[in-house]
Chain A
């Protein structure tokens, strides 16, 4: 019976034109994103190094205007001149010699660390290179050194493009797609109540089957779309390497992980978010029984806290709803704007799971109340 019901639900899903459209959207999204990405400009390593050089340059210029002759000040001035020299050497070596570029990078790190140890005497506030960045730069450099990876990477290779893709799809876009997909998840039950309530399966089993079918459909089309996008990137630009480093925010500081691990993290997050939204759709369908209300109410629940992010310091109970934007959690941007240092991947995932469980409990209570039909009980009481 269970299996037959699953097949029945599958048939319902396939015969709905809306799902065909969602599938098409997910399949088309990534190739279109690739076309859009090739039009974008990206900051190259050379431009980044030039920018760093300008900061040091302006610091030296400002220090020379002050003309202090104390030994600490002079030492710092000398240090900055050395930094400028290594930065220039790095710019020269970028496309010439990988080993020497990395060697100069280590030297630069030592100089910056030394400057921090001596207290940055005399360097203007804005021109100090942040200490956290010094450390994460070293991690990145030694990762590149150990894994024998090139310094410059094209942002449109398959591996990098997949990172952009999952960043793009997670968050509001995925939310909208899943909400549209789940907007009519219980419509059949309501419209043909006599047939559907005759099927000898409990409501919860039916719900599990529905969520499973929708989930599998979205995941299949999503993965297929990602494959098409990745294949296009491979054909047009190249495959890249899944060993490439990427910085994520974890346990209060920035950590380097390979792209493959980042993609796994994001994919797990997408799975949990999709399940959460589907369960929420079931609840909204139970309460309102309207496809559009499902979409708008669902969007409202997540969109309003997201827009309120700058003011969420004062409304902590709305915070968990913003965690669905997992790329911001991983980059540490959300932890910074919410001023919540403990907010990293694991924390956000636990909260999303908690939200899903809470929604399940609410559905359960709703069903139990319907079964006992409290309204009717009270009405009889009132009559007597």
Chain B
């Protein structure tokens, strides 16, 4: 009996116009992202040999004037300008040659050497993060992370390529998706698919009203089917994205290292630790599974109570994006309670695992374990609420209005 219910529900979900269209829209957006948007994205590590050659020629001309006028010594305020510039030209010529020969290990060695000796100004003090209220701190953070990232490539034996340096390989793009607010799209897929799992039966009253299973079991089957469908869709989209981006920019390696800042009080390279990309993926999939379960059950509960797709979608989406309303770099409490106790803090999955959230708001208590605890408690509360409501709003009550 249950098997035929599952079959019926799955067919309904699979052939639903709404789900098919949503999936194809996401597919189109993904293709646009892979083929157009990545290409137009600028990364601070991107390298343009022609522009660099032009710049080097200009500096070389200045060097010539310095030599002619005899200004090759140490200036009072500016230091050994001629010497510094000679180093600049030398290291960049090496980088350029390595770049042309596709020898990216050598390129990375010289790039890293330049960044540690005098290239800090490319990150710190420039116009990166100008929108942020604390640009200096963010610039230093990005600079430290870049140094550690490049060094970790050199420590490993994999071949280094240009798309690895500019974080364009498939795995790095997946990491980027998990580490910013675009991860909300993944959660929204689950909200959207499960939003009408129950309410679509409103117009087919006779079909399910006489079905000889308990009401709670039937609700669970519906919830399970919509969850499975959304999971398949998400995995399919991620798979498609990985294949597309891999074919354009390469796949990357599962043991690539990501720097995470463990000490929130101090800035500097020694306060970082490294985790591998596979660890990040594993931890974020655990968090994502719990979060999506929360939304799936929340949607079922809302459908039971309101019987209206619009309300379900609206309330769930509002809960999903509620952090945007109050979040700022100085908000550490909401209604006098610390942010670590709110489930929506952990919806930015990647940021809470890599302690990025701690860095942003200067706290040290948002982490993976705390996230699991808070999210599981939320899931438990919603589960109990759902069970009680299903006893209160019975099948007869639900289909009557």
- Kindly list chain A residues whose C-beta atoms are within 8 Å of the C-beta of B25: 296, 299-300, 303
B273–chain A nearest beta-carbon distance, Å: 31
Q: Are B32 and A308 in contact (CB under 8 A)?
A: yes
- Identity of the chain A residue whose Cβ is nearest the Cβ of B134 in the assembled complex: A41
B259–chain A nearest beta-carbon distance, Å: 27
- Kindly list chain A residues whose C-beta atoms are within 8 Å of the C-beta of B196: 292
CA distance A11 to B310 in the complex (A): 19
Q: Are A40 and B325 in contact (CB under 8 A)?
A: no
Q: How does the 8 Å CB contact mask read for B298-326 relative to A, with 1 for contact and 0 for none?
A: 00000000101111001000000000111
CA distance A19 to B310 in the complex (A): 9
Tell which of A31-39, A72-80, A88-96, A244-252 binds the partner.
A31-39
Which has the most chain A C-beta neighbours within 10 Å: B33, B36, B78? B36
Instruction: Tell whether A290 pairs with B324 under 8 Å between CB atoms, given A17-B308, A308-B36, A310-B40.
Output: no
Q: Are B326 and A35 in contact (CB under 8 A)?
A: yes
CA distance A133 to B78 in the complex (A): 32
Interface residues of A in 1-37 (CB under 8 A from B): 17-18, 21, 25, 32, 35-36
The residue from B33, B40, B81, B326 contacting A65, defined by CB atoms under 8 A apart: B81
A183–chain B nearest beta-carbon distance, Å: 9
Q: Are B331 and A39 in contact (CB under 8 A)?
A: yes
Cβ of B22 under 8 Å from chain A: yes
Q: How does the 8 Å CB contact mask read for A279-303 relative to B, with 1 for contact and 0 for none?
A: 0000000001011110011011001
Q: Are B18 and A293 in contact (CB under 8 A)?
A: yes
Q: Are B314 and A25 in contact (CB under 8 A)?
A: yes
- Kindly list chain A residues whose C-beta atoms are within 8 Å of the C-beta of B311: 17-18, 21
Cβ of B381 under 8 Å from chain A: no
- Kindly list chain B residues whose C-beta atoms are within 8 Å of the C-beta of A304: 28-29, 32
Q: Are A35 and B37 in contact (CB under 8 A)?
A: no
Interface residues of A in 301-346 (CB under 8 A from B): 303-304, 307-308, 310-311
Cβ of B384 under 8 Å from chain A: no
Q: Are A307 and B32 in contact (CB under 8 A)?
A: yes
- Kindly list chain A residues whose C-beta atoms are within 8 Å of the C-beta of B309: 291
Q: Are A296 and B22 in contact (CB under 8 A)?
A: yes
Interface residues of B in 13-51 (CB under 8 A from A): 17-18, 21-22, 25, 28-29, 32-33, 36-37, 40
Q: Are B37 and A67 in contact (CB under 8 A)?
A: no
CA distance A290 to B18 in the complex (A): 8
Q: What's the dominant secondary structure at chain A's contact region? A: helix
- Kindly list chain A residues whose C-beta atoms are within 8 Å of the C-beta of B62: 65-66
Cβ of A275 under 8 Å from chain B: no
CA distance A304 to B29 in the complex (A): 7
CA distance A211 to B81 in the complex (A): 70
- Kindly list chain A residues whose C-beta atoms are within 8 Å of the C-beta of B17: 288, 290, 292-293
CA distance A299 to B29 in the complex (A): 12
CA distance A311 to B35 in the complex (A): 10
Interface residues of B in 59-78 (CB under 8 A from A): 62, 65, 69, 71, 78
- Kindly list chain A residues whose C-beta atoms are within 8 Å of the C-beta of B81: 65
Q: Are B29 and A292 in contact (CB under 8 A)?
A: no
Q: Are B21 and A293 in contact (CB under 8 A)?
A: yes
CA distance A307 to B33 in the complex (A): 8
The residue from B18, B32, B71, B324 contacting A292, defined by CB atoms under 8 A apart: B18
Q: Are B328 and A180 in contact (CB under 8 A)?
A: no
Cβ of B133 under 8 Å from chain A: yes
B315–chain A nearest beta-carbon distance, Å: 9
CA distance A310 to B325 in the complex (A): 30
B226–chain A nearest beta-carbon distance, Å: 14
Q: How does the 8 Å CB contact mask read for A30-70 relative to B, with 1 for contact and 0 for none?
A: 00100110011100000000000000000000000111000
Instruction: Tell whether A21 pairs with B28 under 8 Å between CB atoms, given A39-B328, A290-B17.
Output: no
CA distance A291 to B326 in the complex (A): 32
Q: Are A40 and B328 in contact (CB under 8 A)?
A: yes
The residue from B21, B33, B325 contacting A296, defined by CB atoms under 8 A apart: B21
A155–chain B nearest beta-carbon distance, Å: 14
Q: How does the 8 Å CB contact mask read for A151-170 relative to B, with 1 for contact and 0 for none?
A: 00000000000000000000
CA distance A18 to B309 in the complex (A): 8
Instruction: Tell whether A41 pairs with B133 under 8 Å between CB atoms, given A292-B21, A293-B18, A300-B25.
Output: yes
- Kindly list chain A residues whose C-beta atoms are within 8 Å of the C-beta of B21: 292-293, 296-297
- Kindly list chain A residues whose C-beta atoms are within 8 Å of the C-beta of B327: 39
Q: Are A310 and B18 in contact (CB under 8 A)?
A: no
Instruction: Tell whether A21 pairs with B325 under 8 Å between CB atoms, given A296-B18, A308-B32.
Output: no
Q: Are B65 and A310 in contact (CB under 8 A)?
A: no
Q: How does the 8 Å CB contact mask read for B184-216 relative to A, with 1 for contact and 0 for none?
A: 000000000000100000000000000000000
Which has the most chain B C-beta neighbours within 10 Å: A35, A297, A307? A307
B161–chain A nearest beta-carbon distance, Å: 24
- Kindly list chain B residues whose C-beta atoms are within 8 Å of the C-beta of A25: 314
CA distance A293 to B23 in the complex (A): 12
- Kindly list chain B residues whose C-beta atoms are within 8 Å of the C-beta of A40: 328
B139–chain A nearest beta-carbon distance, Å: 16
Q: Are B326 and A292 in contact (CB under 8 A)?
A: no
B192–chain A nearest beta-carbon distance, Å: 9
Q: Are A35 and B36 in contact (CB under 8 A)?
A: no
B interface residues with partner A (beta carbon < 8 Å): 17-18, 21-22, 25, 28-29, 32-33, 36-37, 40, 62, 65, 69, 71, 78, 81, 133, 196, 306, 308-311, 314, 324-328, 330-331
Sample of 28 A–B contacts (CB below 8 Å): A17-B308, A17-B311, A18-B311, A21-B310, A21-B311, A25-B314, A35-B325, A39-B327, A40-B328, A66-B62, A67-B65, A288-B17, A290-B17, A292-B21, A292-B22, A293-B21, A296-B18, A297-B21, A299-B25, A300-B25, A303-B25, A303-B29, A304-B28, A304-B29, A307-B36, A307-B37, A310-B36, A311-B40
Instruction: Known pairs A292-B21, A311-B40; list 13 more (Cβ under 8 Å).
Output: A35-B326, A36-B326, A39-B331, A65-B81, A66-B65, A288-B17, A292-B18, A293-B17, A293-B18, A297-B21, A303-B29, A307-B36, A311-B36
- Across the A-B interface, the 7 shortest Cβ-Cβ residue pairs: A292-B18, A39-B328, A18-B310, A310-B40, A41-B133, A296-B21, A311-B36
